Structure 1
């Protein structure tokens, strides 16, 4: 009964954070009064009218790029023309086109886990349109232009296939920063996802239009440099911050351009994402070819231009038919950042080895059971023979038989060793589920995080965390995205983020445990856990041999 009560409490907490993240504008009398005198900001020759709850002003849906439609589809983003005239900034803009997907709501999965998946991922489905490149700004009420507050720029997650800004309430972060007397300005932007933002093929590489979603983010960062002073922000004090695909995006902004930040940011904070093992953009060729065929462009002399001219619905239907993040291939994404010769001139991990890394302080951390959510897509893999085929066909396609043997020795079939970790015989949804979850979590999340830290500690200030919270969530444990509660729900991780944005050090106001820097000698982790000791310091040495080998496989077999 105690176990059940704890799990139910955890699910209630996630229902709460879903409300906090996606809460509509308040309707209390003070908020209504504040809307009667809505805040305004002048940009160029234009005036934008936002909204306020009495504590935080918000300016939403401001276009930062020309609509990527018509001939601008599948092209680099183009900055908006100078603003003129009056504009409403009271509502979010449309999300970029969302790839259709089916949630992995497997029969037999506990209701608590189903609630978490629905509340975390189903909420990502938002009104979408091709005209979607907009930016949002939250500021403390009363802050004037030139106040020079530090700026947190949020990049959302969603596997580079789904996601938008309107489920993240930046006001919760700004309000907490006011409470800590460490006020910040919060910014979020939409960027193109799925095939619209991460089309991959030799044709795309030749045209120099790969990684458009990352290019959208980069343009939004330039917008921040140009305009954030008008909102009271300091363009020299920008921290880029994200979760999942957003965190990976942050990492890729750190390694692009030879590590030259162009003055766009001075710090980076990554939740469940680091420079990951991704390969050449030609790895997306089969998905591009399928799209071309389904849209009816196979006979075109210029298939890319044909895709630009295709009717939106026809193109969107073809994208929806492509493998999604919860398809059997799971994290071997059809649409993802890849080496395009422009934004990424080499694999992200090779760029790290070459020293192509922004010399700024950074934080990178993971949840303990990153792979569980994505392993739900492979519950039909129940034998070791099937597991061998699954891994070699999707994740380590060039692996030798001896390396595959070694991988499976390091990640044994003993269910007590799998993920969710430290849950004994519980959560074995199939004989291979916990094993697959452990491998995926280490290959895509834990391994790249540890690799990045080991390469950069001692050269710049770094910190790392491990979230073991909600370990009792059935099937998922401390799964991917469980740490979002500790940020948008007003938890301790939010305090660390706010301190970092202000000080380039996560320590400061909030009364939390002192978080030591990461170095290769001590490898100290801030570990967030359930119970009476919510924050402890541990060592980043778990599964050392297994994770070292997973890193090697990623370097040798980039996705």
Structure 2
């Protein structure tokens, strides 16, 4: 009978497991198939609309933590992601190796999801692979996005105005500090990791050491360059998207109208009270309309208590979190964005085939500004002839944008420049730079909806790396992307092994496919040979920057781009 009971437990997928934390008892599940313990949908805070998060009180009894909580309010995008209308959304999830015990002091990874600052959520990610293979505790969390998390308004408390999503993350990090030891994690060894907008938010935590010191001790920045400029609170209020959200006469579908300056019934407080009274769905409809007409419409700001300074200022003054970092990006990040435009899966639902007319009238102005002379130089450089470009298609255009563009901080040269600049800060610990470059990375069913083939080669595009860390990541709650091909799956395990070694503070990568040397690029000598290439059967160090002369066509041609955009 004892043997039969043990056998039943071994083959059961989920077996209840209860732990005691300082906040209260939590019941999760032991996932025997995955070899982990999973605790899902733990509420760490509550928040009224446009108000700061309030930590949850300790609870009596046993909290059931077996299902993901709802993602924060967001519209469906790209014919792929899913809508959420739930404002009670400040949940986190914890996954541990199945043999983890309280006070084991395992390294802790806290994952900040991406989503363009307007979407995403923690219930899109399976945490079991990293927890099991790296033998670490993994936490994922929700935070408010879009106008609910990143829309400055003159009636919101100036100290947090425009940065409520960041305040949510800090509330979650405080919860981790309080409770993670009960899951077997080490509160003194927390790695904050994120991708895309998640990385952009980590950059702002790094620039605010007085607010986050002690909350994390290492950082992993994927597909986001910290040197990308974002507005100050003052600039954001001077160009107020909240007014357009409140009333835009060009939006024929607007279902509400809140007072804006110039209206006889306007006051800051009346405006905010009106916005608080609108339905989530109506606000999201307004947000979607405005986001379709502005690039990165809803973003965090600097210049308040949450983020006192820009990343540029933090680096220049040395007033920055000095923690070891992994930084990197995918080789062809923005081919994904070209695919959205070619397919019409963009904010305006407009198809933009890659023709020379569309390149001149749409793509180049959107990504490189309005200087026609610069456009001519770029086309001449990459396609041989500005008027009759050779080999111009979605793949080649996307690769060019991925090397550098000044308006979207997802590009390789700006990532390298960020690391070069950080290396100039006195006392900065090691930075490990990488480039993800699997030509067979899955995109359909991951970054693009299944069957949405744009008709050109995709490869290692934006967000395709996520499936290597979080199995079957599909940008949906179904978590049903195809399994990785065998060579890619092996690469995923190798990447996780490197991350595990980094989280443990070990700089010795002997026995690995390649020694990962600390990145030694600098402002004066930017062409470092110490970028680790992650490609199946070809993990090696290389120079991603290229040559130092603007004439060099090596690497990502960063010297050329620096000559075009020296600031």
**SS at the partner of 1:491?**
helix
Q: Deviations over 1:522-543 (max 9, x none)?
A: 6134343546424343353331
Matched, 1:498 2:450: no
The yes-or-no answer on 1:51 pairing with 2:29 is yes
2:559 alignment partner, one of 511, 536, 545: 545
- Counterpart in 2 of 1:237? 189
Q: Which residue of 1 aligns with 2:88?
A: 131
Distance, in Å, in 2 between the alignment partners of 1:357 and 1:300 is 40
Secondary structure of 1:39's partner?
A: strand
Residues 108-132 of structure 1: per-residue CA shift (max 9 Å, x gap): xxxxxxxxxxxxxx2x426551111
The residue that corresponds to 1:274 in the other structure is 225
- Indicate conservation of the 8 Å contact 2:97/2:136, yes or no: yes
TM-score, normalising length from structure 1? 0.77
Give the secondary-structure state (helix, strand or coil) at the position aligned to 1:513: coil
Distance 1:61 1:408, change over 3 A: farther
Q: Which residue of 1 aligns with 2:127?
A: 170
Q: Which residue of 1 aligns with 2:208?
A: 256
1:336 and 2:299 aligned:
yes
Pick aligned residue for 2:160 from 203, 208, 220: 208
Q: 1:310 to 1:209 in 2, by over 3 A?
A: same
Which of 423, 428, 431 is the matching residue for 2:393?
428
> Alpha-carbon deviation of 1:389?
6.0
Structure number with higher helix proportion = 1
> Using a 3 Å threshold, how does the CA distance of structure 1 residues 348 and 314 change in structure 2: closer, same or farther?
same
Provide the rounded CA distance (Å) in 2 between the counterparts of 1:283 and 1:515: 41
SS at structure 2 position matched to 1:42: strand
Instruction: Tell me the distance in 2 between the aligned counterparts of 1:465 and 1:286.
Output: 38
Q: Is the 8 A contact 1:469 1:482 kept in 2?
A: no
Match of 2:179, SS state, is helix
| Counterparts of residues 228-377 of structure 1 (less than 5 Å) | 228-257=180-209, 261-275=212-226, 276-281=228-233, 282-283=235-236, 285-293=239-247, 294=254, 295-298=256-259, 299-301=265-267, 302=269, 303-323=271-291, 327=292, 332-377=295-340
- 1:375 shift after superposition: 2.8
Aligned partner of 1:118 in structure 2 is none
Query: Is 2:438 aligned against 1:469?
Result: yes
Alpha carbons 2:194, 2:220 under 8 Å: kept? yes
Aligned-partner Cα distance in 1 for 2:419–2:540: 21
Number of equivalent positions? 481
Change in CA separation of 1:533 and 1:395 when aligned onto 2, cut-off 3 Å: closer
**Displacement, 1:35?**
3.7
For 2:97 and 2:19, the matched residues in 1 are separated by 13
**Which residue in 2 is equivalent to 1:460?**
429
Q: Tell me which residue corresponds to 1:9.
A: none
Distance 1:126 1:509, change over 3 A: farther
Structure 2 partner of 1:64: 44
Contact 1:39 1:51 in 2 (8 A): yes
| Residues 135/45 of structure 1: CA separation in 2 closer, same or farther (3 Å cut) | closer
Deviation per CA, 1:259-309: give whole Å up to 9, x if none. Answer: x64201111011111312212244474432121114321254221232122
Of the structure 1 ranges 473-482 and 44-53, higher mean CA displacement relative to structure 2 is found in: 473-482
Name the SS of the counterpart of 1:523 in structure 2: coil
Q: 1:431-455: per-residue Cα shift (whole Å, max 9, x none)? A: 9666555544895132431222111
Looking at structure 2, the residues matched to 201 and 396 of structure 1 have their Cα atoms a distance apart, in angstroms, of 30
Native 8 Å contact 1:146 1:229 kept in 2 = yes
Alignment check: 8 A CA contact 1:160 1:193 kept: yes
**Deviation at 1:355?**
2.0
Relative to 1, partners in 2 of residues 1:484 and 1:231: Cα closer, same or farther, differing over 3 Å?
same
- Cα distance between partner residues in 2 of 1:443 and 1:317: 24
Q: For residues 305 and 475 of structure 1, do their structure 2 counterparts lie closer, same or farther at Cα, with a shift above 3 Å needed?
A: farther
Is the contact between residue 487 and residue 494 of structure 1 (CA under 8 Å) also seen in structure 2?
Answer: yes
- Per the alignment, in what secondary structure is the counterpart of residue 228 of structure 1? helix
Q: Distance in 2 between matches of 1:157 and 1:145?
A: 30
Which range moves more in the overlay, 313-322 or 384-393?
A: 384-393
| Higher RCO, Cα 8 Å, sep 6+ | 1
Q: Partners of 2:537 and 2:368 in 1: how far apart?
A: 41
Shift of 1:382: 5.9
1:256 shift after superposition: 1.6
Deviation at 1:417, TM superposition (A): 11
Query: Are the structure 2 counterparts of residues 412 and 202 from structure 1 closer, same or farther at C-alpha, using a change threshold of 3 Å?
Result: farther
1:528 aligns with 533
**Does the CA contact (< 8 Å) of 1:486 and 1:492 recur in 2?**
no
Query: Does the 8 Å CA contact 1:517/1:524 hold for their aligned counterparts?
Result: no
Q: SS of 1:503's equivalent?
A: coil
Matched residue of 1:363: which SS?
A: strand
Residue 142 (str. 1) matches residue 99 (str. 2): yes
| Partner residue in 1 for 2:3 | none
Point out where structure 2 has 5 or more consecutive residues left out of the alignment: 1-6, 248-253, 260-264, 343-351, 444-455, 472-491, 547-554
Superimposed CA distance per residue, residues 298-353 of structure 1 (whole angstroms, 9 cap, x where no aligned partner): 25422123212223332233223332xxx575xx2011122252222333233322
Mapped partners of 2:96, 2:115: distance in 1: 26
Cα distance in 1 for partners of 2:514, 2:109 equals: 22
- The match for 1:99 among 46, 69, 75 is 75
Shift of 1:488: 2.8
After superposition, the Cα gap between the structure-2 partners of 1:328 and 1:477, relative to the gap in structure 1 and judged at 3 Å, is farther
Once the two structures are TM-superposed, the CA of residue 135 in structure 1 deviates from its matched residue by 0.9
